[in-house]
Amino acid sequence: MEELADESAETVDSEAINFHDFHRPRHHPDLWHKTREFYSFLLDAKARGHYAYRRTLLEGSTARTLVVDPRTGEPRRMILMASNNYLDLCTDPRVISAARSALEQYGCGSGSVSLLAGTQDIHRRLEARLAAFYGREAAAVFPTGYSVNVGTISALLGPGDLALVDLYAHASLIDGTKLAGCLTKFFKHQDLDHLARLLTRLRQSYHGVLIITDGVFSMDGDVCRLRELIELKEAYGARLLVDEAHAVGVLGEHGKGTEEYAGVLGQTDLITGTLSKAPGGLGGYVVGSAEVVEYVRHFAGSYVFSTSLPAPVVGGLLAAFDLLEHDHARRARLGDNAAYFARRLREAGCVVENTVTPIVPVIIGDELITRKIALDLHDQGIFAAPVTFPAVPKLRSRIRFSVMSSHTREELDYVVDVMQSLLGRHRVSIRAGAPP
């Protein structure tokens, strides 16, 4: 007990250690001890001006939005380069008007989980819309994209089954495999020879096998090799789940995502996705055959035990899907902006990951320098996301820019110029993407 009362955690030097140091096991008898250390780290990082998380927006998630400056506490209009609202749908007047009508008809919350009293006709309309959008029999809508992945994978896999997961797959997919209790093996990012070797070695020793990948990888912006993944899963009698969180609305002529982009519509066993990025709302979905979707609906804990989406969000999403599917000009603007921005950054000497999407990551390498650059960008009126371990490997810290359809060329040019000067100031070796 004496040790539990120990208050002796020293002041932590936030420039000497990194976030990832806190992921190591601490082995202290007081569970709270690590929180005291981390809190000290946090206070020091804020005081020294390299804490760039949880900045506060005073308006919607638009290309130029009002943000509270963490140093002065004053509002400041900034170029937002960190939003997943790629198509500007969450503040579109037609989406707002549909959300308002639903609010007036149904009220704010749904009052129950879906299987009990939480299914309103508007939820059924959204599920039917999603199933039709993907040309599948059925869809189930979950409270978030995170919960759909955790729930779906843990419902479908169990001990004796095998999950083969791309090393860069989103955390929610990996968390799903942990909850499932199956064996999980990672294949090297986009390395399908490695995946084939794992299938050859392990397929016969397990019951069900699920290959799991992002459609568009959330921290890199590259697109999975869907056609070859489909060939592999068929050759080995496995199933394939693709998370379309960053692909929906973005890839393909009608925004149907990776399948449309790769010319393999309808060939993935199971699609999950989120309604919180290009669709501009909140929630997650699983789309597939009626049998699989109904099974997931009844056995995914995050569906069974969690309240359904509020109707205003669902109403807004129904309007958003009409725009997302049919407003080709908006999607074209987004694609042009993303390609232009990545090209200009590369010309300026930045190391940009192999992206073909609005996710444009500039590799910095070192975690502390990445966080400092994020705040320097802020000082210049640019809101961009520093991404460090565990979201990416330790020495691959990056500034992750997200492009929107409404960014102007002037805004994008300005960001490139500032980024170029900051890399020079922080002596980041531009070609290598790492500090000297």
Report the C-alpha gap between 318 and 403 in whole angstroms. Answer: 24
Pick from 252, 281, 284, 316: which binds ligand PLP (CB under 6 A)? 284
Instruction: CB nearer to ligand PLP: give 214 or 222.
Output: 214
Pick from 106, 146, 236, 401: which binds ligand PLP (CB under 6 A)? 146
Residue ranges in 188-227 that form contacts with ligand PLP under rule CB under 6 A:
214, 218
Instruction: CB nearer to ligand PLP: give 246 or 330.
Output: 246
* Catalytic residue ranges: 218, 246, 277
Range in contact with ligand PLP (rule: CB under 6 A) among 7-15, 19-27, 51-59, 139-147 = 139-147
Output the smallest distance, CB 217 to ligand PLP, in A: 8
Helix axes 311-326, 121-134, angle to 10 degrees: 20
Output the smallest distance, CB 235 to ligand PLP, in A: 26
Range in contact with ligand PLP (rule: CB under 6 A) among 138-146, 288-296, 332-340, 418-426 = 138-146
Pick from 145, 221, 358, 386: which binds ligand PLP (CB under 6 A)? 145
Report the C-alpha gap between 405 and 334 in whole angstroms. Answer: 4
Report the C-alpha gap between 66 and 59 in whole angstroms. Answer: 6
Output the smallest distance, CB 170 to ligand PLP, in A: 4
Instruction: CB nearer to ligand PLP: give 85 or 172.
Output: 172
Report the C-alpha gap between 419 and 143 in whole angstroms. Answer: 37
- Count residues near ligand PLP (CB under 6 A): 14
Pick from 18, 85, 184, 276: which binds ligand PLP (CB under 6 A)? 276
Output the smallest distance, CB 48 to ligand PLP, in A: 29
Helix axes 226-235, 192-202, angle to 10 degrees: 10
Q: 120 — phi, psi (to 5°)?
A: -105, 165
Range in contact with ligand PLP (rule: CB under 6 A) among 46-54, 143-151, 333-341, 372-380 = 143-151
Instruction: CB nearer to ligand PLP: give 145 or 280.
Output: 145
Report the C-alpha gap between 52 and 349 in whole angstroms. Answer: 24
Instruction: CB nearer to ligand PLP: give 89 or 245.
Output: 245
Report the C-alpha gap between 77 and 86 in whole angstroms. Answer: 19
Taking CB under 6 A as the rule, which mask of x and - marks residues 233-272 in contact with ligand PLP? Answer: ----------x-xx--------------------------
The answer to the question of residue 355 lying near ligand PLP (CB under 6 A) is no
Output the smallest distance, CB 139 to ligand PLP, in A: 15
Range in contact with ligand PLP (rule: CB under 6 A) among 60-68, 123-131, 144-152, 184-192 = 144-152
Q: Are 139 and 286 in contact (CB under 8 A)?
A: yes
Instruction: CB nearer to ligand PLP: give 252 or 428.
Output: 252
Output the smallest distance, CB 160 to ligand PLP, in A: 26
Residue ranges in 149-178 that form contacts with ligand PLP under rule CB under 6 A:
149, 170, 172
Instruction: CB nearer to ligand PLP: give 144 or 406.
Output: 144
The answer to the question of residue 144 lying near ligand PLP (CB under 6 A) is yes
Instruction: CB nearer to ligand PLP: give 282 or 368.
Output: 282
Output the smallest distance, CB 388 to ligand PLP, in A: 16
* CA 185 to each of CA 148, 161, 193, 210: distance values in angstroms, whole numbers, following the listed order: 21, 11, 14, 11
Torsion from C-alpha of 148, 322, 84, 332, nearest 10 degrees: 130
The answer to the question of residue 83 lying near ligand PLP (CB under 6 A) is no
Contacts of 106 (CB under 8 A, 6+ apart): 120, 122, 311, 312
Can you give the binding site for ligand PLP, defined by CB under 6 A?
144-146, 149, 170, 172, 214, 218, 243, 245-246, 274, 276, 284
